[in-house]
Chains A and B, each alone.
Chain A
Amino acid sequence: MSVLNVNNIKKNFGKVEVLKGISFSLEKGEVISIIGSSGSGKTTLLRCLNFLETPDKGTITVDGKVIFDADNKKKMSDAEIRENRLNFGLVFQSFNLFPQYTVLKNLTLARELMEKNKKDGLSKQQITDEALELLERVGLADKKDSYPCQLSGGQQQRVAIARALSMKPAILCFDEPTSALDPELTGEVLKVIKELKESNTTMIIVTHEMGFAKNVSDKVIFMADGIIEEVGTPEEVFDNPKSEKTKHFFSKSFENI
């Protein structure tokens, strides 16, 4: 059974139809890359999965449980939304770390608030230990007491990845994780994502790093004007694109190189 089933998601902003019926599924441990020109709706799709936007149509199913159904109009409570969105983690293009907290506190803040409300929640010490382990994984254990403003962009984004992992999402989403970085800093972030792939983390990655997408993905989705124009293995999409739009996009993407 797929870990994620997205079925016919539609989203309008006013009269503009930004997502025109997106469907795809994702297996456990799989990595999907989403590529496409800017304005094609990639960010909106990730925001819908993370409940930052409410789709106008469609369903989202995680592990066989429908967590969103636009037609079933019964209003979800805030608590339900919070529980459902924790199936997903989101790494933002602009990191969005909390500037007033140390790296470690950035990782433990939300987790501590959540565990406090459980009957047999984890202790602060256990949460801290888990956070330190995550920092180790992204290679920043020595920065645990630093503040975000003392880190480079690449380090901040690695902290943001660790922070997203701290809530143990089933599916980790990335929205152009390296677009805000200087070119020499993208490598360290991509390396972390690659290592996550090797430890079977299920991921959806929106990216403009074509080489990376080809390398790390099990499946590639090419989006254009709010629809999935083409989907397939990296070899299929990158080496033998069928759609004219895909071909056109690649010729534009690579013409500057």
Chain B
Amino acid sequence: MGFWNVTLSLIGGLKYTCLIFALTLVLALPLGLVIAFGSMSKFKPLSYLIKTFVWIIRGVPLMLQVIIFFYVPGFLFGQPILTRFASVIAAFVINYACYFSEIYRGGIESISKGQYEAGQVLGMTKLQIFFKIILMQVVKRILPPIANEVITLVKDTALARVVMIVEIIQAAQNFAAYGLMWPLFYTAIFYLAFVGILTLLFGHIEKKFNYYKA
């Protein structure tokens, strides 16, 4: 079992790691905004419903949510509804959307009322005010906490193993059956590189917003 064999297997696992990561982000970032608007809704029943939902999702371990999405439909309907991979994506998207929604909400609520009112007295519509004035200020404020969540997501992808998705950790663990432990430690290099790239990327984006203070 040579170094290159192990590396190739780990890269095979890394494909799933990346796929879970990318799909979760692409779906959870916009879904989070919808949840954020729901939780800020003036229609109280909706906002309480959404807040309770967010509390449950954030209060239960993500690993358990993955297990629930995969096994519970099987118990209830006699057969699984989602494939292993789909249940991982569903659990991750919903979980991360809830975390993102709280970051969005905090960001939106941190913008002073005066910014909205300044737009209003200049005759702007609600949509114009949100997209032309508020949104960019929110993005600037939420970039650091979003970067944090995104980096956590990289490592959370390892939880997909509980439903036998062979992501990078599981790929390394398969070698342990042959008495090889070092591939497991080797995975750290891949994670560090992944997170390193993201850190640089977010640093770059944050710098783009540094031209003004607010």
* Cross-interface CB contact of B114 among A50, A82, A94, cutoff 8 Å: A94
B121, A98: Cβ atoms under 8 Å?
no
Q: A110 in the interface, Cβ–Cβ < 8 Å?
A: yes
Q: B133 in the interface, Cβ–Cβ < 8 Å?
A: yes
B120, A100: Cβ atoms under 8 Å?
no
The interface residues of chain A lying within 8 Å CB-to-CB of B137 are: 99-100
Kindly supply a per-residue 1/0 record for chain A positions 74-104, scoring 1 wherever the CB is within 8 Å of any chain B CB and 0 otherwise: 0000100011011011101010111110000
A100-B136 contact, Cβ under 8 Å, with A94-B114, A149-B213: yes
* Cross-interface CB contact of B123 among A82, A94, A98, A100, cutoff 8 Å: A82
Q: Give the contact-size bracket for chain A.
A: 20 to 34
The interface residues of chain B lying within 8 Å CB-to-CB of A149 are: 212-214
A88, B121: Cβ atoms under 8 Å?
yes
Q: Give the contact-size bracket for chain B.
A: 20 to 34
Q: Considering the complex, give the chain A residue whose CB is closest to the CB of B115.
A: A96
B114, A113: Cβ atoms under 8 Å?
no
Within 8 A of B (CB), among A128-153: 147-149
Q: B15 in the interface, Cβ–Cβ < 8 Å?
A: no
Q: Considering the complex, give the chain B residue whose CB is closest to the CB of A88.
A: B121
| B114 nearest CB across to chain A (Å) | 4
Kindly supply a per-residue 1/0 record for chain B positions 98-139, scoring 1 wherever the CB is within 8 Å of any chain A CB and 0 otherwise: 000000000000001011011111111110100011001100
The interface residues of chain B lying within 8 Å CB-to-CB of A96 are: 112, 114-115, 117-118
A109-B117 contact, Cβ under 8 Å, with A82-B123, A86-B123: no
Q: Tell me the complex Cα distance, A167–B133, Å.
A: 17
B214, A52: Cβ atoms under 8 Å?
no
Q: Across the A-B interface, give the 5 residue pairs with the lowest CB-CB distance, nearest first.
A: A110-B122, A96-B118, A96-B114, A99-B214, A149-B213
Apart from the given pairs A52-B120, A86-B123, A94-B112, 16 other A-B contacts in the complex at a CB distance below 8 Å: A52-B121, A78-B126, A83-B123, A96-B114, A96-B118, A97-B118, A99-B137, A109-B133, A110-B119, A113-B132, A147-B211, A147-B212, A148-B212, A149-B213, A149-B214, A167-B122
* Sample (18) of A-B pairs whose CB atoms are under 8 Å apart: A52-B117, A78-B126, A82-B125, A89-B121, A94-B112, A96-B114, A96-B115, A96-B117, A96-B118, A99-B214, A100-B140, A110-B123, A114-B123, A147-B212, A148-B212, A149-B212, A164-B121, A167-B123
